Every structure is written in C-alpha cells, then in structure tokens.
Chains A and B, each alone.
Chain A
Amino acid sequence: MSLHEAHELDKLATGIAGFDLIANGGIPRGRSTLLSGTAGSGKTVMALQFLLAGVREYGENGVFVTFEESPADLMQNVRSFGWDLEGLLDEHKIAVVDATPDPGAEVVYSGSYDLSALLARIENGIRSVGAQRVILDAIGALFPQLTDANIIRRELHRMAAGLRAIGVTTLVTMERTDEEGGVGRWGVEEFVADNVILLRNRLENEKRRRTVEILKFRGATHHKGEYPFTIDSEDGVTIIPLSAIELKQKSSAVRVSSGVAELDRMCDGGMYRDSIILVSGATGTGKTLMVAHYVKAAIEAGERVLLFGAEESREQLTRNAASWGVDFEQAERDGLLRIICRYPEVMGLEDHLLQMKRDILAFEPSRVAIDSMSAFERVSTPKSFREFVIAMTSTIKHLEITGLFTNTTSLLTGGESITETHISTITDTIILLRYVELHGEMRRGLTVLKMRGTFHDKGIREYFIDNRGLHVLAPFRGVHGILTGTPTYTFDDERSRLGEMFRDDGTAATNGDRATR
C-alpha cells in the first residue's frame, strides 16, 4: 500500500463531506474529472460545492463555466443551501463564464471555426481570480448549440489539455440518460475518460436513494462501489462513506451503569463507556423500560443523554417513564435529557443519519439511545439499513460515548430478527429479552448474549417488571431451549436436587458460567 501511494498522483481535497474519504484524498490534482449522472442526480450541486469548499476551506478560488443554466439561475438555486455565490463573485473569489446559448441572436454557420474564444474566456476567468478549481457544468448543452459534434469533441479535448497545462483541477458535469450503461452522451467521455465519477438517483422500494461511485481515477487509488449520499439544505452534498470509515476509535475501560443493577453485575460491572448495546426482544418485553433505566442512570450520574424515539411520541415516552418513576420532563428542564421523536417515514435513511449526527454533535451527550432501531428497517432496503446502523455506530464510537439501540423481534418467543443478524456483528453488547412459556405461564427471560472484552454472565435469568421498573432474578434452571422458543424441562428429582446443592442463590451458578472472550 505504501509503495502504491508513493507513485500515486497528487490529489486535491474537494472539501465535500465524505467524498475525500472514498476518493483516498480527493480528485486527481491538475486533471479533469467527469461527473456524470441522470437529470436531478445532484451533479451541479456537487460541482458547485467543490468550488465553494475550495474557497471556504482551502483558500482556493474557482471559475464556474455554465453551459445550460444561466449564472443567475444557478446562484439562485443554491441560495437555499446558504451559499452566497454572488458575494464570492463580488469578492473576486470566483469568476463566472456564461457559455449558455445567446437567446438574443440568430446564428448562421459559414465555414470552419473552433472554440478558442471559449477557452480564452475561461483562461481569462482563471487569471482574474487566480483560480485553482474549474467546473464545466452541463457540457452536453454545447452540442445542440453548435452544429458540428466532431468539432466540439475535438475542441473539448483541446480545452482539457489547455486547462491541464494551466494546472487547474477541473470537474466536468455531464448528463447521462440511464442509471446504467454509457457514461455520457455525445461521446464526451472520450475526452475526460481518465477520471469518472457517477451519481445515481434510483428508486428502491418507493424510496429515492442517491449514490456516488468513483468509476475510475487513472493512476490513483479510490474506494470502489457505490456510497449513499444526501443533499440537504444545511450542508449540501454529504457522502456517507461507511465501509471507508476507519475503525480507529480508542477503547475505553471506563464502565457506565445500564441502570439495572443486577444487569450491571451480569456484565461484570456495567457497560463500557464507548460501546454499543443492542437490546432485542418482542413487543412488551421491556425494551423501552430498559431505555428508561439507561436514561435514568445517565441523569443520576449527571450525564447528558439524547433519546431518539422512532415509534412513540414524546408524550408517550415521558408518560411511560413517569410510570416507572423516571422524570423525563424534569431532566429535560435540567438540560440533561433531550428527546427527539421522528417517525422513520418522514425522510430517507441517509437524511435521518445526517440529522441524528447533527443532533448528537449539537447536544454533546454522554449517552445516546435509539428506540427502536428496527423501526428504521421498515423504510429501507436491507443494504441501506445496514449502512445506516454502521454509520450510526461509528459516529457514536468515534465520540467515545455509549449507545443503546432497541430492536423489536417479530416472534413472541425465541427466534431472531433480520435486524439482529444485520447488526449483531456491529454492536458490542447484545441483551436478549425473551418470553418464556413455562408451566402454562408467560414469564420473561434475559440473557447477555455477547459482550466484547469482558466476562459476562452467560445464564438466562428470569426478570419481572413492576411499577418501579425491571428486576432481574435467578437463572431459569432445568429449562433448555428458551432461545429457540420451544423450551424443554429436565426437572427430574435428582437433577433439581443436585442443582439446589450447588446453587447459592444465583451467584455460584453465575460464577460457574463465566468465561472470557
């Protein structure tokens, strides 16, 4: 890898959130890169963001050349992002070259021509602001404007060479008609074929899903495959790099309480501060109650906690917590708790992710709870749900805070849900809450399925819920197969007698069952 990097072309950081991560640093410096996508895929926004980020973050001025939309329209369109391009024009940070068709003049062709005038105007723009970044937006609009496509292709080739000679880094946007297939129309890809980025805006399960893919960078590395991104009014384009996210979080040995004393004991003293806990169970097993305990523990420790509700309203959450003796309202007034309720249906998962990240960064909590994570599964494909969980997890871990997600399983007893299989490898601790049918009665069982980096009680413990909350009792004994949903009993007299002999009200059995991971 290091050998590879040594020979790699120099990159220019775009400043587009997430992009530089999947691009291993940025787009090739001093070259042209083609940004191709269908109508409405976000090409122009991304290109303008490249220009704007250059000015704002790197002190690199830019030129934008527009072939389709008038400069006034473009600037108007991005004003909703709070991007003040007019201001930057006035400050001579950016220059505009208007290559849109001239509506005021009729055109007649007579003899040979070239596009030297356009190149001269772009060069003038570059000189006037000392630009290092150039965007050529909607270059395909040149083709209907001029009669000879061959001349245009030849001239674009010359233009790319000219811009390269000047040393500017250029982003060329181009519309394609299909999400798959050819990179661009008119054979334009031939002239900027070295570096190609594709934007897609597909309909999946009745939801729009935007993705970006770096198809190729000649002589430079990048991450492969599609990455979701979102466009919103605050940050413009944000790419969610997911698998490109580096796992470089530190590991904390500090423990925090789950809010249930017995559960903390089962986990050898509590949860790790920078861990992700998944509480999984059927409806009514007490997942939201676990959340309430977890919130209460934070409040009592004087720590801030952010609770995302995806299924219940703030009023419901508050009322339920109050019935277990946890005063959410007071905690909110004290500034220790923030409850944010958003139904998953209101927006796409990528937007949820972005919004939740912002909420977390704004409130700076020590703990985050999401009740429930599985609710988000309803509105997405398995792939984007998994990506969502990974990104959420890494955000929380990166901040070295604790996260608790709940997951609703579909079966009342036993079974495992898709969510579990999807996200169990990502979480550090998994607590299963299960109904246990025993002697014609519905009882509840709790087990710590896994806990990274520590001893934990492997037994299945009975628990009950009353108006003070959740209470963990002794392990179920003489019962097998609870987790499969079909328990079998082995209560012959001898076994239960022997069991009694070695049991010292839970603790002996607990110790015996401990193991190291």
Chain B
Amino acid sequence: MSGARALSRPARTGLLLLLGVVAIHAALIPLGPGGMLVPPDLLYCLVIAWVLRAPDAPPVWLLVGLGLAADILLSRPIGLGALGLLLAAEVAGRNRILLRGLPFPAEWAAAAIGYALILAGIYAALRLTFAEAPAPYDLLRYLVATALAYPLVALAVAWGVRLRTAERAHPRERLT
C-alpha cells in the first residue's frame, strides 16, 4: 500500500518508541522546579499527531508501555494517564479519516478536547478514590500548555517523519 519512500511498519514502531522516550524525557528537564512553568504533555501530542498521520494504528503494547513510563517517571497517578492515552489514540485512530478530512484547526481543537476529557477523567478518578487531586487551575494550565504544544508536534510529525506517501495517492482514504 505505502510507497517506496514511506517507513515500514517495524520502522514506524521503533521511531514512535524513540520519539516517545524523547517526549517523556523532555518534561523531566529541570527548567524551573517548583516555579510557574508547567511542561506540556508532549507524549499525548506526539501519539495523537502520529495516529492521525500514520497509515495504521501503533501496537497496543507500545501505547501502554509509553503511557505507563510517562505516568511513573512524571509523578502522575499510575495507570490513569496510560489509560487515557490508549483510549484517546484508539478513538483518534478510528476517526482518522474523518479528522484528516477536516482543516487543521479542527484537528487541533479535537486534540485539545480529547486531552481535556482525559484530565477531567483523571481528576474525577482521583476525587472518587479520595486521593489528592491537583487544583483545577493547575490542570487547566497543563491543558493549555499541551494544546499550545500540539501544532508544533504535529508540524514536526508531518514534516519530519515520512509516515506515508502523499495523500493524493490514496483517494480512497479521504472522506468517502
């Protein structure tokens, strides 16, 4: 299906793994611990931008592994972030053809709404289990930072990684 210049499936999996590790690692850089800065969730941006552009969905184990690693290393509640990432990637993957047919601002808004739902879910789960939940204001800043980072990550994925051949070669994949 894919052209000669697009990456093969194992290469795509390996590259997503590598970029995912870089995205988790970037959040750990101590630019201002305890300060006002909230790092964006680059892993979410990367996975959603990737899923919308790659010809097939990444393997489940990769999404679960990356999500769990991010939860553990970024001191988030363990399990919930990975679950949110997995579900968001799946929903995005199933609606890929629809989302790719829309202009970019709509895709951007969909990614931001998806992340807002994830954060709301995490917040609700933490409150339901009587765990300490961060202030909604902090989560809002996290959401804003992630939403602002999404176009940059999407641009990097679209231009930097040749996930598929030019879309015009796949008229069937466009809105049918």
Binding partners A and B: no
